[in-house]
Structure 1
Amino acid sequence: MAYKILAINWRDIKNPNAGGAEVNFQEIFKRLVDRGHEVTLLCSRHERRFPEEEHIDGIRVVRRGNRNTFNFTVPGVYRREFRNEPFDIVLDDLNKIPFYTPLYVRHPLFVMVHHLHGTSIYGDTFLPAALYVHFMEKIIPLFYRGVPFVAVSESTKAELVKMGLRDEDIEIIHNGVDHDAYTPDESMRSAAPLVVCVTRLKKYKGVHLLLQAMEDVKREIPGVKLVVAGRGDYEPKLHELTHRLNLNGCVEFAGFLGTSQKVDLYRRAHVVVNPSAKEGWGLTVVEANACGTPVVAAEVPGLKESVIRGETGLLYPHSDIKALSTSILSLLKDERLRNRFGARSLELAKEFTWQKATDSIEAFMEQVVHGWGGAKS
């Protein structure tokens, strides 16, 4: 049963700030297109070189408004351009500031949530903006109670329930991994000790904490290298910190990497680190695992589910620089431990596929449409 689907997200996959939420959407919904569904994505306009409308992997991408005020743009665009179109279902991909779609969307509706910023936003932006984002998240239950939700992890579901949404309205559907692309190749493993971090360069992602930990790591292993892949508005501060810590010869900022470049980096790494204050689940963790590389991660919501302590990697208390450096050193110095974690990582990564995630989203949408009373004949 093919559906006509409208999705609303702040960003599309070509947006320079695209992250795990956008990868999740693209991987699942391009597969839904392959199954005969028709998908339109409404998102914000970013660089002017990208057109207002185009098709990406069969998904019609409609760009309107801008990155700062897109949430105010959406209601008017929906009413003018989409309200009278025969969509079977609408996805509110809740990532950052909510769109409050239940106030104006008249099609069957569901929401997908990766993670909420909560109080972590206060460390990532100036106070007025942080207060605004935090308040907009806090009032989600006032407008979304009773709407079907998909959460990508148990941690995210627990957050939603704690803030006032009903447990029975939330289904957990994990992210997947493209196992055709993310595969191991031990012949590519770096001869020199290599630490890798793949993330958006935002303050809450914690790369500054990793840089501080690398001081200790470098003292014990002078030949160690750190490659940081990703872009973001915190990058200038990270360059300054690298210089201040005298790590210029140790740290490389690789910028945004395509899939094949990212796979090569995971394969070369001895350990991948995710020092974020919060994640929805930890897509880069499982990508690294699928390449046979163990992970050191902060013990925070999302990451403490995607990393299995003592099996696929190590967890440490967030912001504990000494514990982070100790965890990295323990893996760099112990090849047998790395190999054991790497083998177990490969096993567990196989449980997460985009095919499985697509199956689950497709079944969930059918429940929503039928529950709405709008099932197609």
Structure 2
Amino acid sequence: MNQYVSRRGSSRVAPRLRFPTAFPGGHRKPRRIAMLSVHTSPLHQPGTGDAGGMNVYIVELARRLAAINIEVEIFTRSTAGGLPPVVELAPGVLVRHIDAGPYEGLAKEELPAQLCAFTHGVMQAWAGQRPGYYDLVHSHYWLSGHVGWLAAQRWGAPLVHAMHTMAKVKNAALAAGDTPEPAARVIGETQIVDAANRLIANTAEEADELVRFYDADPGSVAVVHPGVNLDRFSPADGRAAARARLGLPKDALIPLFAGRIQPLKAPDVLLRAVAVLLDRDPTLRSRMVVPVVGGPSGSGLAKPEELQKLAARLGIADVVRFQPPVGQEQLADWFRAASVLVMPSHSESFGLVAIEAQAVGTPVVAAAVGGLPVAVRDGVSGFLIPGHDPQAYARALARFAESPELVARMGAAAAAHAQGFGWDTAASATADVYTAAMHEHRRRVRPLHV
């Protein structure tokens, strides 16, 4: 353990630590892994319910792992009757549906009570296989981590876990009126950190948070930046063509919000900033469109029409367009059509949407939180805003309104920046983490057998 890292209960603050970006080595990589995603299926449409960036992450990572000869079987909860037990997502990637609780109407907060049933289903799927069928377990989010903890122990395999978001971090940056994460989740995450052989963090800041908030061993944490599908998210035929396909004005200022509509993502900050901007310059109203692409999620489900009502109260309902969640191909067109993507989130483990938008050549205005300072090059591919003051976001948007050439200049820099975030690189680094976890696990287990 690093000498600066305190044990639980100590008030000492750890300085920023250096974390490996992977664990390279000349040992055997896994042949087949079990990937766990309890609360959201990789087959679900991102932007609906609890489906978001993590869904994209799992799908893209699994595809790229299979391409380097690591078979992936993804276990997820059945959310509809009649789903086939097994679906081939791609060559070398299977999705296994597990019955655990009612198919529909089960909130994420109710899922801990179904973990026993889910674990039983995973064990049943494994029971017919030979010993050592899975070389490793990779769990995503804390609910999956608890299943992975038991499965890895039962199978004699190492556990690699990715938090994606953390309760203590979210609770430290709650949006006004949002609901804190429960103590049960905090305890559960702490247990998973202790149990996992390796932890994958999206950024160095997230790795620091694992050490600072959960007392993770820095030697077990690897930083692997998520990737972006550079084939799908590319400039393609440009902004004008995308606007024509979506029925948007050719010369409008279009600040876009894309994602789940909930207080954590703070779409209200964009609407308030637009109201400030139009109050300062009413002439913008005739040449501004503000698309909000996504559906209510999480605590946003309590008031699903709250954002529409806010637009009306602010007097900007005429410029705001609410669009339901769309598939990845059409989402890429929305990014191309936008003048700028706005991400005022209160917390983001990485901010995959920011990289996707930049990959098509669209700059980003984002909160300087979580992984967004890694995803966005401040002053080059976009602007990072400290805090969530609508006035600050309005000033950033005004720069694009006053200097339309800024969209093209920053957009070109954004596309170049995004080239460093391909999924092939992320998959290769993740495979290195797997290899190191397997090597260490064998080294620990072998003396016990002797």
* TM score, norm. by length of structure 1: 0.90
Q: d(CA) in 1 for partners of 2:189 and 2:258?
A: 30
The residue aligned with 1:101 is 148
The 1:326/1:72 distance shift into structure 2, 3 A limit, reads farther
Partner deviation per Cα, 1:27-78 (whole Å, 9 max, x = no partner): 0111222333321111122244644432222422122325532444333333
Residue in structure 2 matching 1:268, options 331, 337, 344: 337
Task: In structure 1, list runs of 5 or more residues that go unmatched.
Answer: none
Q: Give the Å deviation of 1:273.
A: 0.4
The 1:215/1:8 distance shift into structure 2, 3 A limit, reads same
Q: Do the aligned residues in 2 keep the contact of 1:100 with 1:143 (CA within 8 Å)?
A: no
Q: Do the aligned residues in 2 keep the contact of 1:177 with 1:353 (CA within 8 Å)?
A: yes
Q: Give the Å deviation of 1:96.
A: 6.4
Q: Do the aligned residues in 2 keep the contact of 1:97 with 1:137 (CA within 8 Å)?
A: no
Q: Are 1:40 and 2:100 matched, yes or no?
A: no
The residue aligned with 1:191 is 251
Q: d(CA) in 1 for partners of 2:42 and 2:239?
A: 30
Number of residues of Structure 1 aligned to a counterpart in Structure 2: 372
Q: Do the aligned residues in 2 keep the contact of 1:41 with 1:60 (CA within 8 Å)?
A: yes
% identical equivalent positions: 22
The residue aligned with 1:351 is 420
Q: Do the aligned residues in 2 keep the contact of 1:71 with 1:98 (CA within 8 Å)?
A: no
The residue aligned with 1:182 is 233
Q: d(CA) in 2 for partners of 1:257 and 1:46?
A: 20
Partner deviation per Cα, 1:316-375 (whole Å, 9 max, x = no partner): 123211111111111222123322211211111111101111111122212212221189
The 1:97/1:217 distance shift into structure 2, 3 A limit, reads farther
Give secondary structure in 2 for the equivalent of 1:332: helix
Give secondary structure in 1 for the equivalent of 2:124: helix
Q: Are 1:13 and 2:42 matched, yes or no?
A: yes
The residue aligned with 1:150 is 200
The 1:334/1:248 distance shift into structure 2, 3 A limit, reads same
The 1:374/1:36 distance shift into structure 2, 3 A limit, reads farther
Q: Are 1:167 and 2:211 matched, yes or no?
A: no
Q: Give the Å deviation of 1:294.
A: 0.6
Q: RMSD over aligned Cα, in angstroms?
A: 2.5
Give secondary structure in 2 for the equivalent of 1:182: coil
Range moving further from structure 2, 232-241 or 23-32: 232-241
Question: Which structure: larger Rg?
Answer: 2
The 1:91/1:162 distance shift into structure 2, 3 A limit, reads same
Equivalent position amino acid for 1:225 in 2: V
* Structure with bigger RCO (C-alpha 8 Å, 6+ apart): 2
Q: d(CA) in 2 for partners of 1:154 and 1:197?
A: 26
Q: d(CA) in 1 for partners of 2:392 and 2:210?
A: 30
Residue in structure 1 matching 2:356, options 287, 291, 294: 287
Q: Give the Å deviation of 1:12.
A: 1.8
Q: d(CA) in 2 for partners of 1:100 and 1:156?
A: 23
The 1:322/1:170 distance shift into structure 2, 3 A limit, reads same
Q: Do the aligned residues in 1 keep the contact of 2:226 with 2:421 (CA within 8 Å)?
A: yes
Q: d(CA) in 2 for partners of 1:373 and 1:105?
A: 13
Partner deviation per Cα, 1:83-116 (whole Å, 9 max, x = no partner): 6742111111125685263355222211123232
The 1:49/1:257 distance shift into structure 2, 3 A limit, reads farther
Q: d(CA) in 2 for partners of 1:247 and 1:201?
A: 18
Q: d(CA) in 1 for partners of 2:380 and 2:34?
A: 40
Give secondary structure in 2 for the equivalent of 1:115: coil
The residue aligned with 1:76 is 120
Q: d(CA) in 2 for partners of 1:2 and 1:161?
A: 27
Q: d(CA) in 2 for partners of 1:294 and 1:126?
A: 29
Q: d(CA) in 1 for partners of 2:240 and 2:332?
A: 13
Q: d(CA) in 2 for partners of 1:22 and 1:359?
A: 19
Q: Do the aligned residues in 1 keep the contact of 2:167 with 2:181 (CA within 8 Å)?
A: no
Q: d(CA) in 2 for partners of 1:97 and 1:28?
A: 17
Partner deviation per Cα, 1:224-254 (whole Å, 9 max, x = no partner): 1111111123242212222222222111111
Q: Do the aligned residues in 1 keep the contact of 2:381 with 2:414 (CA within 8 Å)?
A: yes
Q: Do the aligned residues in 1 keep the contact of 2:30 with 2:435 (CA within 8 Å)?
A: no
Q: Do the aligned residues in 1 keep the contact of 2:175 with 2:266 (CA within 8 Å)?
A: no
Q: d(CA) in 2 for partners of 1:205 and 1:71?
A: 27
The residue aligned with 2:261 is 201
The residue aligned with 1:337 is 406
Task: In structure 2, list runs of 5 or more residues that go unmatched.
Answer: 1-28, 102-107, 244-249, 445-450
Q: Do the aligned residues in 2 keep the contact of 1:97 with 1:136 (CA within 8 Å)?
A: no
